[in-house]
Structure 1
Amino acid sequence: MINSLKEIFPHIDEKRCLQFITKKVFEIFDHEEDKKCYILEENGQFKVLNSNQKEIGFIAVDECLFDSSDGSRSDCIVFDDEVLCFIELKHCKNKNISRNRQKAKSQLIATIEFFKEKIDIKQKLEAYICITCSSDEDKITMTPRANNEQAQLEFEEFFDTQLFYKCEKEFQ
């Protein structure tokens, strides 16, 4: 899969879109200004648990693989040998949750379809919608929102992908 990514996105190394992490816990942060995702020790929006400290791949999709002219893609991907997880992060005010959830679904679908068309993916597919809201702009609170069963069934049926509404992934 890595070789296919490098063929499709020759700038993947130069722009540092692909990283490998072996930490027990790391977090992903979607930077508001440059719109790119980064790995942090803490205070991110999405937490990755890796108790076995195996090698986890991280791909910054938005503003790295794809540029700002294509805002229809998900933010990032985390993966190992068994699972490939597409992640869309949204930070919003409470009144915008429903609209953000719909936009996140569209972005995930566009990214999954692109990757399935271009790359022979062997791993199981998962998609995550992580919507965080906070009243105090200095503090981000991880707040997974209610599940949408219809969307989950649609992802399973049409994209062979399990959809989660949460801000955490645990690798086994």
Structure 2
Amino acid sequence: MIQEIGDNIPNTIENKCISELNEKHNFLLDTENGVLIVNATDFYHLYVEKTNKTVVYSIQNDNCVMINSEGGQCDLLILNEEKLYFVEIKGTQDNRSNHRKTAYKQIENTFKYYSNYIEFPKDYKLNALVCFKHKRRIVQASASTKKKEFKVKYNINLEEGNYINFD
């Protein structure tokens, strides 16, 4: 899938938006300049764990692949050859309801953008993760109506949390 994205999605290669997550434990922090890999002892927004030897990639989507897209775009994509996560990081605890609605729209816009260029295989697992500031590792189902809507309309599993496991 990473090859197909690189070959078909504008800006991914030219802007050097793709990076490989090499460690078993990867801690990501969203900044004004993009998403950075930080140490486990540092503050982070997203924890990506690889429990096998799979190759996992991060695509800096916001202001790298999709630049000033109308309606917004999610921050990054995390993927391997079996599954993909559209990730939107919200670095605030304030007014979660409004931030959640914005995140859903950004993820939806990003999925539609990528779908214009590539066709996701039917057996490829598509996921969306909205990250809010948490002091511990969590993953939970998102609001049931939106979760159901994303599954029916786009075949995307929608979750909230700050942890992704590639096992």
How much has 1:112 moved relative to structure 2?
0.9
Secondary structure at the counterpart of residue 106 of structure 2? helix
- Whichever residue aligns with residue 149 of structure 1, its letter is S
Q: Paired residue for 1:110?
A: 109
Could you list the runs of 4 or more consecutive aligned residues of structure 1 that deviate by over 3 angstroms after TM superposition? 1-4, 6-11, 68-71, 141-147
CA distance, structure 1, for counterparts of residue 49 and residue 2 of structure 2: 22
2:142 and 2:158 in contact (8 A); partners too: no
Q: Paired residue for 1:83?
A: 83
Runs of 5+ consecutive residues of structure 2 not aligned to the other structure: none
Residues 37-75 of structure 1, C-alpha deviations (whole Å, 9 max, x = no match): 223333320110102142101100001112245561100
1:25 and 1:41 in contact (8 A); partners too: no
1:156 and 1:163 in contact (8 A); partners too: yes
Residues 22-45 of structure 1, C-alpha deviations (whole Å, 9 max, x = no match): 3111022110x33x2223333320
Residues 83-125 of structure 1, C-alpha deviations (whole Å, 9 max, x = no match): 011000001143x111100100000011111112211222210
Runs of 5+ consecutive residues of structure 1 not aligned to the other structure: 134-140
- CA separation of 1:150 and 1:48: change in aligned 2, threshold 3 A: same
Q: Percent identical across equivalent pairs?
A: 23
- CA separation of 1:112 and 1:9: change in aligned 2, threshold 3 A: closer
State the TM-score, normalized to the length of structure 2. 0.85
- CA separation of 1:52 and 1:112: change in aligned 2, threshold 3 A: same
User: Are 1:119 and 2:118 matched, yes or no?
Assistant: yes
2:82 and 2:125 in contact (8 A); partners too: yes
Question: What number of residue pairs does the alignment pair up?
Answer: 162
2:137 and 2:163 in contact (8 A); partners too: no
- Which has the larger displacement, 37-46 or 70-79? 37-46
Secondary structure at the counterpart of residue 107 of structure 1? helix
Q: Paired residue for 2:142?
A: 147
- Which has the larger displacement, 76-85 or 39-48? 39-48
State the TM-score, normalized to the length of structure 1. 0.83
